[in-house]
Chain A
Amino acid sequence: MLESVPVARRDAAAPRRRLSRAAPFVAAILAALALWIAPRVLDTFAVNVLTRSMIYAVLAVTVDLLWGFAGILTFGQAAFFGVGAYATAMILAAYGATPLGIAAALAAALAAPALLGLAVGWLSFYHRSTPLYASVISLVVPIVVTQLIYSGGEWTGSSSGLVGFDVLPLEIEGYFRLAALVLIAVTLAAWILVRADAGRALVALRDNEARCAYLGLNPRRLQIRLTAALAAVAGLAGFLFANASGVVAPENAGFLFGTELVIWVALGGRGTLLGPVLGTIAIDYLAANLSGDLPFLWQLLLGTAFVVIIILLPGGLADLVGRLWRALPLGRQEPVPPRLVARAAETGAAAAGPPILKVAGLAKAYGSLTVLEAIDLEIRAGELVSLVGPNGAGKTTLMRCLSDGTEPFTGAIAIGGIPTTGLTPNRIVGLGVGRKFQVASVFESLSVAECLRLARAPHDGLSPVGQAETLGLPQPALDVLRMTGLDRLLTRPTRLLSHGQKQALELAMVVALEPRLILLDEPTAGLTKAERTTIGTVLKALTAGGRIAAVLVEHDLDFVREISSRIVVLHQGRLVLDGTVEDVVGSELVRTIYAGGAHG
């Protein structure tokens, strides 16, 4: 049933795609070779310091993934690092560097931070939590961990830290190579992840968390998993550090170290991976060389540079380099668009069973202000219901209650017979509801194709290692794209789209979810006549199949009359009329409301 849609430049793209896919591996192998040889050339001091710098760079990668990509400003990676290092030191001290001891230490260095990461993630991310709150928690965690280390007495060595435990049987050069290999492996894995489709989900989270939830992705789960996974990576760095240095100290887990990591990442260039890695190595190495001779000046320069970069160059040094690079002819590379293919629509029994939407006795108030009252509504498959009423009638509030079960309301809403009370938006999307917002809600940093792929994520999943070459969309979504010309703009960053194009893209994304019930909040606001017609056509076609229902809030009564199968009128929070187009348009009541309510 797959029908392929021809796209320009498709054939020319294949070899280049293969090349760009191999490039990071080649670069990684070359870097590994260079670093393998490096200890023969460098003096002991440089080898020693760079070993530490590279371990710190592993941490910088994790901070960059969290902050630069997923938008979670964290000071907490130091805590996970410290937990990993202390777990290693305590186990090695107790069991020695036997194969079993080392294996146990490594396992603990991964598991303990990961568990702590889960707990921290649970604490930091919940429905309606703010990015600031997550940062606050990430500040508290290292402080708590440090104090627990202090209170550990003999067990953790308190302020003295732990020293004199057995370590891996390696020389200084051996540790250098081990740290280099781990750094390259972690960076490469991170590189592959952020280039892959799953990596775009991180950026999507940073851009627009609400939209993610309304695509059925669970932002909380993603954030918590990411936190736990990267905590484990930080723990691995802690394992290396404890072995390479032979000392673990409370400072290693401290909040100050956490801020240092953020400073390195910011200077290197958040969201670029290589920037933070190189930035961390360069700054830590320079610090080791310079801070002995000019400690105050060094810190002063670093602090000043940090402030300047944050204010004037938020993308860090890597951003500056990147801009220069893209200015060169070699650096300009057109991204390759994926091939669009039609996905067969699910064929199921139509219109049987309970109504798609059933609202009974819905009421909602903000304090003493009643916004909705005694709303009863039933919508069946195949219906296209327009919700009209003057401003302040409660239309948008009703839409919000329908799509978010955590809104405080009374009464009952059921989707396909399942009550939604208490369900977060992503779970309601899972019941088959798609919502389009009044102001187009898309992912500004992503391309058109990437936005669409995220919309398909609940159905098709996202590849954690690569970019799929095809993008399968249901036919109605393809129709939207084709009618609005978006199918020729697949690689264009969303922020460069026009207002109408953004609206169309969001509609395509919602349609791509294959919802049973589509909620649209003023889909035609600010659109041209042609664009309105397109949207009308799509909606009619969608509902005509008898499997899908649509509810739209609209002010344009001509448009409403043209496409609706039924019209519901809201006034002052009450449902005052519910009938066919003829019933409503001819109604005296509606005319009075609109004459008084004034909306042209």
Chain B
Amino acid sequence: MVKWSLLGAAALVLAAPGARAADGKPIVIGVPVGLSGANSVVAPSVVQSAELAVEEINAKGGVLGCKLALEVADDASGAAGAQKAFDGLIYQKKVDVLISMETSAARNAGLPAVTKGKVPFLYTSFYEGHSCNRNLFVDAWVPEQQVPPVVDAFKAKGAKTYFLIGSDYAFGRGMLGFTRSYVEKTGGKVLGEEYLPMDGSDWTAIVSKLKEAKPDALITSTAGGAPNVTLTKQLRGAGVALPFANLALDEGTAKSMGADAEGVYLSASYVTGIDSLENKAFLAAMKKKFGAELRTPNDLSVPEYEAIYLYKAAVEKAGGTETAKVLEALPTVSFTGPRGTITMSKQHHAPLTMYLGQIQADGTVKVAGTFKDVDPGAQCPKLP
């Protein structure tokens, strides 16, 4: 049995002489992620889904005969931490690819290292859009895909005036900037747009401003994790009961927030309730692997799972891990996973099916609307 697999590997090597496939060492996937800091609420779920993907792929013989290995590094959810994490993964651990969900601050800070180190980077977090780099591919949503369902739904309920609150960084400002222009384009009015730094925790003044402005609806876009929690706690503490959509809320975080999150709208490319064979199989496998330790799979962790499969497909198509060839193959491959069939074919971004959901008392998401294959729009016109 051992002999056979060695032979098999040798045969594959002969068939596909790639950069890495030749030496039989594992293909190393770097996962820089915010284990501490703002993203620490969701990071464990991301790591879990990456572990599942790697385990599944390795159980079926790996990629081109090579096993996959994970290297997880904490980027502290910020720019300075990301710089260290990326340097360590690229130069010290010599990873073949980076596949991860990160804050926009961390992603931006990591990109120079990615360019210098010449590794592919699959970014699996929804974000504010328009981040363009030859080495960067994204399989999660951008505002063009996510915001319209929310605003349209509020408009249908009769909302005319909006209040926007966010974390002061690329994601917060990018999302709310797009939201403002979309609201105004569709005839609504923005009464206020307020930001607090990513590490800010005192929303008192902003909450009071919101209450004085008396809008019809509230849309927030904080950094995932801690700011999301503090803002929601303080909003609820102040008795804010408006129609409230949270652009940065994933199902996992919603569940851990408990009663505070009830009634909040979210718009996502993944909810656990998706009724497909792939999703059911995925959820069952997660439950089996992690049992009681399982963190609720969500819109930030599922793209991580799928991105590892997308990378696998690209390496197989390219015949090795050589960066140039993998980058060439990435936009052409697709994978059918829990969210359906994903292809990063639109200027390094992917068309996605979006769901409008509302958090229920038990923390689950009730789907209120489905929008098929929403196009990400022109994200990076200069990239093929």
Are A and B close enough to touch in the complex, i.e. CB under 8 Å? yes
Question: CB within 8 A of B109: which of A49, A247, A291?
Answer: A247
- For B108, the chain A residues whose CB sits under 8 A away are 157, 160-161, 163-164, 247
* B109:A45 contact, CB within 8 angstroms: no
Question: B104-144 toward A: CB 8 Å interface, digit per residue (1/0)?
Answer: 11001101100010000000000000000000000000000
Q: Closest A-chain residue to B71, C-beta based?
A: A292
* A48:B87 contact, CB within 8 angstroms: yes
Question: A164 to B87, alpha carbons, bound, how many Å?
Answer: 16
Interface residue? A159 (CB, 8 A): yes
Interface residue? B80 (CB, 8 A): yes
- For A147, the chain B residues whose CB sits under 8 A away are 197
Interface residue? B78 (CB, 8 A): yes
CB distance from B116 to the nearest CB of A (A): 8
Q: A160-B169, A164-B111 are in contact. Are A252 and B88 (CB under 8 A)?
A: no
* B112:A163 contact, CB within 8 angstroms: yes
CB distance from B312 to the nearest CB of A (A): 25
- For B88, the chain A residues whose CB sits under 8 A away are 45, 288, 292
Interface residue? A250 (CB, 8 A): yes
* A161:B79 contact, CB within 8 angstroms: yes
* B87:A49 contact, CB within 8 angstroms: yes
Give the interface centre of A45, A151, A160, A245 by most chain B CB atoms within 10 Å.
Answer: A160
Give the interface centre of B167, B198, B223 by most chain A CB atoms within 10 Å.
Answer: B198
Q: A246-B112, A249-B80 are in contact. Are A292 and B92 (CB under 8 A)?
A: yes
Interface residue? B57 (CB, 8 A): no
Q: Which of B195-214 contact A (CB under 8 A)?
A: 197-199
Q: Which of A334-365 contact B (CB under 8 A)?
A: none
Question: CB within 8 A of A247: which of B85, B112, B198?
Answer: B112
Question: A147 to B80, alpha carbons, bound, how many Å?
Answer: 16
Q: Closest A-chain residue to B74, C-beta based?
A: A295
- For B155, the chain A residues whose CB sits under 8 A away are none
CB distance from A426 to the nearest CB of B (A): 43
* A48:B79 contact, CB within 8 angstroms: no
* B73:A245 contact, CB within 8 angstroms: no
Question: A289 to B170, alpha carbons, bound, how many Å?
Answer: 30
- For B173, the chain A residues whose CB sits under 8 A away are 153, 158
Question: B61-87 toward A: CB 8 Å interface, digit per residue (1/0)?
Answer: 000000000000110001111011101
Interface residue? B4 (CB, 8 A): no
- For A122, the chain B residues whose CB sits under 8 A away are none
Question: A164 to B92, alpha carbons, bound, how many Å?
Answer: 23
Interface residue? B194 (CB, 8 A): no
- For A49, the chain B residues whose CB sits under 8 A away are 87
* B112:A158 contact, CB within 8 angstroms: no
Interface residue? A43 (CB, 8 A): yes
Interface residue? A191 (CB, 8 A): no
Question: CB within 8 A of B198: which of A44, A159, A289, A292?
Answer: A159
* A160:B91 contact, CB within 8 angstroms: no
Question: CB within 8 A of A161: which of B87, B109, B116?
Answer: B109
Interface residue? B55 (CB, 8 A): no
Question: A151 to B83, alpha carbons, bound, how many Å?
Answer: 22
Q: Which of A468-500 contact B (CB under 8 A)?
A: none
Interface residue? B193 (CB, 8 A): no
* A43:B80 contact, CB within 8 angstroms: no
Interface residue? A319 (CB, 8 A): no
Q: Closest B-chain residue to A289, C-beta based?
A: B92
Question: A159 to B87, alpha carbons, bound, how many Å?
Answer: 20
Q: A159-B105, A161-B109 are in contact. Are A252 and B80 (CB under 8 A)?
A: yes
Interface residue? B375 (CB, 8 A): no
- For B223, the chain A residues whose CB sits under 8 A away are 159
Interface residue? B316 (CB, 8 A): no
- For B111, the chain A residues whose CB sits under 8 A away are 163-164
Interface residue? B168 (CB, 8 A): yes
Interface residue? A407 (CB, 8 A): no
CB distance from A20 to the nearest CB of B (A): 40
Interface residue? A444 (CB, 8 A): no
Question: A227 to B256, alpha carbons, bound, how many Å?
Answer: 48
Q: Which of A160-205 contact B (CB under 8 A)?
A: 160-161, 163-164, 172
CB distance from A309 to the nearest CB of B (A): 24
* B109:A43 contact, CB within 8 angstroms: no
Give the interface centre of B78, B80, B84, B104 by most chain A CB atoms within 10 Å.
Answer: B80
* B79:A251 contact, CB within 8 angstroms: yes
Question: A230-269 toward B: CB 8 Å interface, digit per residue (1/0)?
Answer: 0000000000000001110111100000000000000000
Interface residue? A36 (CB, 8 A): no
CB distance from B205 to the nearest CB of A (A): 14
Question: B337-359 toward A: CB 8 Å interface, digit per residue (1/0)?
Answer: 00000000000000000000000
- In the complex, how many residues of chain A place their beta carbon closer than 8 angstroms to a beta carbon of chain B? 29
* A288:B87 contact, CB within 8 angstroms: yes
Interface residue? A150 (CB, 8 A): yes
- For A161, the chain B residues whose CB sits under 8 A away are 79-80, 105, 108-109
Q: Closest B-chain residue to A161, C-beta based?
A: B79
- For A44, the chain B residues whose CB sits under 8 A away are 91
* B83:A247 contact, CB within 8 angstroms: yes
Q: A164-B112, A249-B105 are in contact. Are A159 and B197 (CB under 8 A)?
A: yes
- For A252, the chain B residues whose CB sits under 8 A away are 80
Q: Closest B-chain residue to A245, C-beta based?
A: B83
Q: Closest A-chain residue to B72, C-beta based?
A: A292
Q: A45-B91, A45-B92 are in contact. Are A160 and B79 (CB under 8 A)?
A: yes
- For B87, the chain A residues whose CB sits under 8 A away are 45, 48-49, 288
Q: Closest A-chain residue to B195, C-beta based?
A: A158
Q: Closest A-chain residue to B38, C-beta based?
A: A159
CB distance from B176 to the nearest CB of A (A): 13
- For B170, the chain A residues whose CB sits under 8 A away are 157-160
Question: A150 to B197, alpha carbons, bound, how many Å?
Answer: 6
- For B104, the chain A residues whose CB sits under 8 A away are 160
Q: Closest A-chain residue to B89, C-beta based?
A: A292
- For A163, the chain B residues whose CB sits under 8 A away are 79, 108-109, 111-112
* A158:B197 contact, CB within 8 angstroms: yes
* B167:A159 contact, CB within 8 angstroms: yes
Question: A49 to B88, alpha carbons, bound, how many Å?
Answer: 9
Question: B160-191 toward A: CB 8 Å interface, digit per residue (1/0)?
Answer: 00000001111001000000000000000000
* A48:B112 contact, CB within 8 angstroms: no
CB distance from B266 to the nearest CB of A (A): 22
* B112:A160 contact, CB within 8 angstroms: no
Question: A43 to B87, alpha carbons, bound, how many Å?
Answer: 12
Question: A127-168 toward B: CB 8 Å interface, digit per residue (1/0)?
Answer: 000000000000000000001001101000111110110000
Q: Closest B-chain residue to A159, C-beta based?
A: B169
Question: A250 to B81, alpha carbons, bound, how many Å?
Answer: 11
Give the interface centre of B79, B91, B112 by most chain A CB atoms within 10 Å.
Answer: B79
* B73:A160 contact, CB within 8 angstroms: no
Question: A288 to B81, alpha carbons, bound, how many Å?
Answer: 11
- For A251, the chain B residues whose CB sits under 8 A away are 78-81
Q: Closest A-chain residue to B107, C-beta based?
A: A160
Q: Closest B-chain residue to A158, C-beta based?
A: B168
- For A45, the chain B residues whose CB sits under 8 A away are 87-88, 91-92
Q: Closest B-chain residue to A172, C-beta based?
A: B116
Question: A370 to B112, alpha carbons, bound, how many Å?
Answer: 71
Q: Closest A-chain residue to B199, C-beta based?
A: A159
* A250:B91 contact, CB within 8 angstroms: no
Question: A49 to B104, alpha carbons, bound, how many Å?
Answer: 23
* A48:B91 contact, CB within 8 angstroms: yes
Q: Which of A28-87 contact B (CB under 8 A)?
A: 43-45, 48-49
- For A150, the chain B residues whose CB sits under 8 A away are 168, 197
Question: A99 to B188, alpha carbons, bound, how many Å?
Answer: 49
* A245:B168 contact, CB within 8 angstroms: no
Beyond A249-B79, A251-B78, 11 additional pairs, beta carbon < 8 A: A45-B92, A153-B173, A157-B170, A158-B169, A161-B109, A164-B111, A247-B79, A247-B108, A249-B105, A249-B109, A252-B80
7 sampled A-B residue pairs with Cβ under 8 A:
A45-B92, A153-B168, A159-B79, A161-B108, A164-B111, A249-B80, A292-B88
B residues in contact (CB < 8 Å) with A: 73-74, 78-81, 83-85, 87-88, 91-93, 104-105, 108-109, 111-112, 116, 167-170, 173, 197-199, 223
Sort A-B residue pairs by CB-CB distance and give the 5 closest, nearest first. A249-B79, A159-B169, A45-B91, A251-B80, A246-B112
